[in-house]
Amino acid sequence: MKSEPGVGSRFEVIVPLTVEHVSLGQDGKRFSGKRAAVVGFSEESRRDTEELLSYLGAEPLAASSLAEALSADVDYVIADERELLSNHPEAEALRGRLAAVLRLGYSGRSHICAEGCATLPYPVRMGSLIDALSSLDGKERGEAEVAAKRLERVREKREEKLAASEEARPKLSAEESEELTRMVELISSDVALLDWTAAERDAKNGKSRFSELKAEPCERLAFSALLLARKGDGAGLRKILDRARAMLKA
């Protein structure tokens, strides 16, 4: 304390602090050699999460959907909980390598816990990310592999059924073929540019046009493309485009 008459007093308080460092393993690369997909965040949140993963030694990958993450060769999937609520089969198939980022006050907790995944709070921080990924390393992935195979069989049967129904349908009229060709060209360009807003718009316009033409198979295809565009599912849109091209060749 220092004091001067007529001026005042000055107090200095010194508090000893200890900084607790998180052990990140050799060279701070706890998850070196691991690959992690990041799904369902804003651009800023995704970038922050990817930077944390890189700092920890993992290779981050941006995935547009859980379906895309499922098909990728990754050790972990870090996903916003809102992605899990609408993609139950994919979340189940990712059991053992899925970390759900929970937002304050958001619903659906029991659904997410049923997937057998790790959880961490939003926003993603270093300590909670390390805890979540470390807990995944000890989880049994056998059930997830069974679920993934079951999901793949369901998809194969669905595609076979769709292919059979498309083969049985009458040929497209000249006007239907023209509209379908236009939609395929537009959405193909949108997917190449990763412009999901444009893809949604073009699919919606195509659906409206096919509705006017009473071309139900084409309208259903456009509606599927519309839903996938809203999710930013590039892989799913490419499959829709392949089906549309097959219809044009029939």
pLDDT tens digits for range 71-100:
888 999 999 888 877 676 777 778 788 898
120 and 223 part of one domain: no
Q: Is the whole-model pTM more than 0.75? A: no
123 and 31 part of one domain: yes
200 and 237 part of one domain: yes
Answer yes or no: are the C-beta atoms of 231 and 164 closer than 8 Å.
no
50 and 118 part of one domain: yes
Query: Amino acid identity, residue 163?
Result: A
CATH number of the domain that residue 176 is part of = 1.20.120.160
How far is the C-alpha of 147 from the C-alpha of 11, rounded, in Å? 66
How far is the C-alpha of 59 from the C-alpha of 37, rounded, in Å? 9
Task: Tell whether 217 is covered by a domain.
Answer: yes
Answer yes or no: are the C-beta atoms of 126 and 28 closer than 8 Å.
no
107 and 182 part of one domain: no
140 and 174 part of one domain: no
Task: Tell whether 93 is covered by a domain.
Answer: yes
pLDDT in the model for residue 167 = 57
pLDDT in the model for residue 181 = 94
Percent of the chain with pLDDT over 90: 33
Peptide bond before 123: cis, by omega within 30 degrees of 0? yes
Minimum mean pLDDT range among 148-152, 200-204, 222-226: 148-152
Give the mean pLDDT of 189-202.
92
Task: Tell whether 230 is covered by a domain.
Answer: yes
35 and 129 part of one domain: yes
119 and 202 part of one domain: no
Task: Tell whether 190 is covered by a domain.
Answer: yes
CATH number of the domain that residue 38 is part of = 3.40.50.2300
Task: Tell whether 153 is covered by a domain.
Answer: no
Task: Tell whether 7 is covered by a domain.
Answer: no
Query: Amino acid identity, residue 31?
Result: F
Q: How is residue 141 written in tokens?
A: 């992935």
pLDDT in the model for residue 113 = 56
112 and 216 part of one domain: no
User: By C-alpha distance, which of 10, 51, 13, 57 is closest to 32?
Assistant: 57
End residue of a domain, out of 144, 161, 191: 144
135 and 180 part of one domain: no
pLDDT in the model for residue 27 = 42
Is 202 buried (19+), middle (13-18) or exposed (0-12) by CB count in 10 A? buried
Task: Tell whether 130 is covered by a domain.
Answer: yes
- 112-143 CB burial, b ≥16 within 10 A, e <16: beebbbbbbebebeeebbbbbbeebeebeeee
User: By C-alpha distance, which of 213, 249, 247, 243 is closest to 225?
Assistant: 243
Q: Cα dist. 1→16, 152, 244 in Å? A: 18, 74, 82
The yes-or-no verdict on residue 192 having pLDDT over 50 is yes
Q: What is the dihedral of CA 181, 204, 108, 151, to 10 degrees?
A: -20
- Percent helix, strand, coil in the chain, to 5, is 60, 10, 30
Total count of domains within the chain: 2
The yes-or-no verdict on residue 24 having pLDDT over 60 is no
Q: What are the tens digits of pLDDT across the range 94-131?
A: 878 889 898 876 555 555 655 557 888 989 999 899 98
How far is the C-alpha of 229 from the C-alpha of 242, rounded, in Å? 15
End residue of a domain, out of 144, 179, 213: 144
204 and 130 part of one domain: no
137 and 184 part of one domain: no
Answer yes or no: are the C-beta atoms of 166 and 246 closer than 8 Å.
yes
Task: Tell whether 45 is covered by a domain.
Answer: yes
Q: Which domain holds residue 67?
A: 26-144
